[in-house]
A and B are shown apart, each in its own frame.
Chain A
Amino acid sequence: MSLLPGILKGLATTARTALRPTHTAEYPDVAPDLPPRSRGVIALLEENCTSCMLCARECPDWCIYIDSHKETIPATTEGGRDRQRNVLDRFAIDFSLCMYCGICIEVCPFDALHWSPQFEYAEVDILDLLHEKERLGGWMASVPPPPALDEKSAEPAEVAAANKPARGTGLVGGGSPGGPGARMPRTVRPRPAGARGATPPVPEPEPPADGDAS
């Protein structure tokens, strides 16, 4: 008879669940409420791409195809040097191979690749999953703006860099004693005299001007 409470509990649980609203999201009729940073598809901002090939090299399953050529830009000033730049001919991601790891997006130094939450691009033919750069560029429209930073998080790297005073102004740290143009004092690390592998106490042949204080 010790079974009985458990049995009744089962009935009560199912009955309670039946009276509550269901969890079902009727997907084709109701758009799913996806969290920010959902990994739906990878979008390409072509203007940012320099054909550096980092994404294609880092891709674990080699599903990114990049073709590019160099173009020579004639010098704009008299006697100047001609410059060369990369022109992207082809950028394609094969989503039949992609495993959505996002390494290409992480590794891109110029923010040319972005996650889009759009996921409805199933195809009848697997070959159609190879998205060329036009199609990848089309996904950019569905890329959401980056979510706001969390409270108390460090400020973004580019903001921090922009706020940092220009070198040599000496405004930070209550004014350096060395006057304008002087650097902040470096931390002097005490170096044990007989440390193994340390530089021998012989004076260096050509010490740099203001490095290596000790």
Chain B
Amino acid sequence: MTLLEVSLRAASVLAAFLVLPLLVGQAEHKVMAHMQGRLGPMYAGGFHGWAQLVADGVKFVQKEDITPRAADRWVFRLAPGVALVPYLLALAVIPVHPGVAAVDVPGSLVLVLAATSVGALGTLMAGWASANKYALLGGLRAAAQLVSYELPIVLAVASIALAGSSLSLATLTDRWSPWWMLWQLPGALVFLVAACAELQRPPFDMPVADAELVMGAWTEYTGLRFAFFLLAEYAGIVVMSLLFATLWLGGWHGPFPDELGWLWTLGKGLVVAVVVIWVRVAWPRLREDQLQRLAWVWLVPIALGQLLLTGAGVVMGW
């Protein structure tokens, strides 16, 4: 791999990392508005407010970057980066087209899972370093949520890895068959719910519950650093949606996979992202204890059952 190719791949991943979250964000603006009988942004950029998030970005850049005097300066300043960069890493290894991923590593599934867990660490750092009780509570809630929901995610993904007998996302997608959509359905649902919780999205947004905790771990952040947290949230949706699309919905599988594979992957990812947005609009926030109960009483047993089912299927040679 030449230096040129490496830089080209890096640049394309960065471009996707900067464009796709904005696309999801804009989709959220519009879908949410229409689900509530509104129009959403209509002015920025002229056509149906397509440039609203660009305008928001410009606004965030202009704002003062404040670090509270009592804050743990380095941790406080580093936290947005810790929240954001892992998703860039995760996005790099997700295959979008047959044989095409920015970085093709053998254990890419493990890498994606590891990277997304580090992302939640950024929220924890922010909450701890802010020297603010709301931020601290938000950070602790985020930590509790992370511990509870990592497990169902890993178990659900492990079931797929077992079914495809690989830890490489590209290989798993290659071995995907439509039959998986039924066979792995419980695991898919568990993953979807747990991914929403991992991203701290409504109805699982207790760490940033604005009615209780102001803005949770993000309370003390302003300007660009706050924008990085928002970007990390939407980058997280992109990563989780693409992961779901490649593992459970077959990524590039569809008519003309060799020509339109990338389009299939992105289209399926977008559908999943819209579902994530839809869930946010339709459902109210869970209580903290309900959140833990959902994870340990429902998701973990279902994921374990799915793992058992997959194991049996693999041994029986279904």
Contacts and interface: CB of A to CB of B under 8 A. Distances in A.
Contact of A18 (B34, B42, B279, B283): B34
B35 interface: yes
Contacts of A24: 37-39
B281 interface: yes
A148 B39 CA distance: 35
B215 to A, nearest CB: 25
B283 to A, nearest CB: 6
Interface string B256-283: 0000000000000000000000110111
A15 B39 contact: no
Contacts of B38: 22-24
A13 interface: yes
Contacts of A72: none
A22 B281 CA distance: 16
A10 B36 contact: no
A14 B257 CA distance: 34
Nearest to B280: A14
B276 to A, nearest CB: 12
B33 interface: yes
Counting chain B CB atoms within 10 Å of each CB, the highest count among A10, A14, A23 belongs to A14
B151 interface: no
Given A11-B278, A14-B278, 16 more contacts: A7-B283, A10-B283, A13-B282, A14-B35, A14-B282, A15-B35, A15-B278, A18-B31, A18-B34, A20-B37, A22-B33, A22-B37, A22-B38, A22-B39, A23-B38, A24-B37
Interface string A1-28: 0000001001101110110101110100
Contact of B281 (A7, A14, A23): A14
Given A7-B283, A10-B283, A26-B42, A17 B278 contact: no
Interface residues of A, number: 13
Interface string B270-308: 000000001101110000000000000000000000000
Contact of B37 (A11, A15, A17, A26): A17
Contacts of A7: 282-283
B220 to A, nearest CB: 33
Nearest to A10: B282
17 contacts: A7-B283, A10-B282, A10-B283, A11-B279, A14-B35, A14-B36, A14-B278, A14-B281, A14-B282, A15-B35, A18-B31, A18-B34, A22-B38, A23-B37, A23-B38, A24-B37, A26-B39
Contacts of B37: 17, 20, 22-24
A73 to B, nearest CB: 59
A23 B34 CA distance: 9
Nearest to A13: B282
Nearest to A26: B42
Nearest to B31: A18
A17 B283 contact: no
A171 B283 CA distance: 74
A17 B36 contact: yes
Counting chain B CB atoms within 10 Å of each CB, the highest count among A15, A18, A20 belongs to A18
A14 to B, nearest CB: 4
Contacts of A23: 37-38
Top 10 nearest A-B pairs (CB, nearest first) are A10-B282, A14-B35, A24-B39, A18-B34, A18-B35, A14-B282, A23-B37, A11-B282, A14-B281, A22-B39
Contact of A22 (B34, B278, B279, B282): B34
A162 B280 CA distance: 66
A11 B39 CA distance: 19
Nearest to A19: B34
A32 to B, nearest CB: 15
Contacts of B278: 11, 14-15
Interface string A106-148: 0000000000000000000000000000000000000000000
Nearest to B39: A24
Counting chain B CB atoms within 10 Å of each CB, the highest count among A7, A10, A13 belongs to A10
B277 to A, nearest CB: 10
A20 B278 CA distance: 16
Nearest to B33: A22
A18 to B, nearest CB: 4
Interface in A25-41: 26
Contacts of A26: 39, 42
Interface in B1-53: 31, 33-39, 42
Contacts of B31: 18
B34 A17 contact: yes
Contacts of A20: 37
